[in-house]
Amino acid sequence: MRIGKYEINGGILAPMAGYTDIAFRELCIEHGAALTVTEMVSVRGIVHGNAATNVLMRLGEKERPSCVQLFGNDPDDFARAAEKTECDIIDINMGCPMPKIVKNGDGAALMNDPENAGNIVRALKKATDRPITVKTRLGYRMDEVTAAELIESVANAGAAAVAVHGRFAEQRYAGSSDIECIRKLAERAPLPIIVNGDMTDINAAQPFAAVMIGRAALKDPSVFDGKPSNPFAVARRHVELLKKYFDERYVVFQARKFFVHYFSGVRCGKQIRAAVNDAQSSSEILKALDFYERSRL
């Protein structure tokens, strides 16, 4: 598919707060992800020069093109934030169902206000010539599919593509993603639709422009190239990349979170996770990986 001038040939890593940091995005690119998206970043935070947002927006050299996801609800904030972001593509979060986000009118709340959603895209288009994408869900309330209105509004405002997660905001992550419903939306949509939710295969069939994968990539980033992978090699490389970009505290913190996924269903998985939970440094984590990998042979 094309997003503006960028050709995207392959799967897209879904934005996941707390997970898709610069290190994990690089790991997924090494495993064939064609596009990666940062965790969601507050436009207010950017406008006010919040230091934490700068960390979230750090981009790697291999992110070609790079994409930052922004959240907020005020078109002017988005326009000002765009001037302070250096990515190639700007994505707008119009699907996050978490109460602390929705209560401010951000994320999924924008699904109830397609006019303002369009105004945000329009403000961004005025502020920058970079392509703008949107990520949303089927609708806000259970079984009320309203995404077509949102898609039309942001398409008219100049959005380049929309990713649709096949659940309703009220549903959060319960039930399953309704791919058939996204298909119907895509067939009528005036712009490319990226399919998302419970996907494990990056090959998009018509009418989808591309596939976006989140949780399946947390289990195994090789979901993007389909090549067989060894969880020990993936975990080791991930620790190396974390060390490249972050301090030890964060490396250990992230390794604990990710190893739950990498080593679920693996022999010795429980022991490895316990060892990583006890580890206080990256070298202890790497030692534990060596030990359990050898003991498996």
Ligand X SMILES: Cc1cc2nc3c(=O)[nH]c(=O)nc-3n(C[C@H](O)[C@H](O)[C@H](O)COP(=O)(O)O)c2cc1C
The correct pick among 102, 191, 199, 251 for binding ligand X (CB under 6 A) is 199
Options 43-51, 93-101, 240-248, 261-269: segment touching ligand X (CB under 6 A):
93-101
Given the rule CB under 6 A, which of 54-62, 80-88, 114-122, 194-202 is the region that contacts ligand X? 194-202
Which residues within the stretch 56-75 sit at the binding site for ligand X (CB under 6 A)?
69
Mark 200-235 as b/e (b = at least 16 C-beta within 10 Å): eebebeebbbbbbbbbbbbbbbbbbbeeebebbebb
Shortest spacing between CB 251 and ligand X, in angstroms: 19
- Closer to ligand X by CB, 17 or 145: give it: 17
Report d(CA 154, CA 206) in Å as an integer. Answer: 22
Closest CA to 155 of 133, 184, 127, 139: 133
**Known active-site residue 96:** yes
Q: Where are the alpha helices (DSSP H) in the chain?
A: 22-30, 43-47, 51-56, 75-83, 99-102, 114-127, 147-156, 179-188, 215-219, 231-245, 248-262, 269-278, 282-296
Tell me how far the alpha carbon of residue 194 is from its chain's centroid: 13
Q: Please state, in angstroms and rounded to a whole number, the distance separating the CA atoms of residues 200 and 59.
A: 26
Least distance between ligand X and beta carbon 202 (Å): 11
**Residues 53/85, Cβ–Cβ less than 8 Å:** no
Contacting residue, 57, 102, 164, 213, with ligand X by CB under 6 A: 213
Selected binder of ligand X within 19, 168, 224, 259 (CB under 6 A): 19
- Contact segment (CB under 6 A) with ligand X among 73-81, 126-134, 211-219, 230-238 equals 211-219
77, 57 Cβ separation under 8 angstroms: no
- The reply to whether 40 sits near ligand X by the rule CB under 6 A is yes
Judged by CB under 6 A, the number of residues near ligand X is 22
φ, ψ at 286 (rounded to 5°): -65, -40
3-state secondary structure of 297: coil
Binding segment for ligand X among 140-148, 209-217, 220-228, 266-274 (CB under 6 A)? 209-217
Residue 197 binds ligand X, judged by CB under 6 A = yes
Alpha carbons 285 and 279: distance in angstroms, whole number: 6
The yes or no reply on residue 236 touching ligand X (CB under 6 A) is no
Catalytically annotated residue among 28, 67, 87, 96: 96
Q: Which stretch binds ligand X (CB under 6 A): 48-56, 88-96, 235-243, 261-269?
A: 88-96
Instruction: Give the pairing type, strands 6-7 and 2-3.
Output: antiparallel
- How many Å apart are CA 183 and CA 186, to the nearest integer? 5
The CB-of-167 to ligand X minimum distance in angstroms stands at 7
For residues 51 and 74, give the distance between their C-alpha atoms in angstroms, rounded to a whole number. Answer: 21
Element (H, E) at 42: strand 35-42
Asked whether position 196 contacts ligand X by CB under 6 A, the answer is yes
Q: Is 106 in the site for ligand X (CB under 6 A)?
A: no
Closer to ligand X by Cβ: residue 23 or 213: 213
193 scored as a contact of ligand X (CB under 6 A): no
Does position 16 interact with ligand X (CB under 6 A)? The reply is yes
Which residues are known to be catalytic?
96
Q: Which residues bind ligand X (CB under 6 A)?
A: 14-19, 39-40, 69, 93, 95-96, 135, 165, 196-199, 213-216
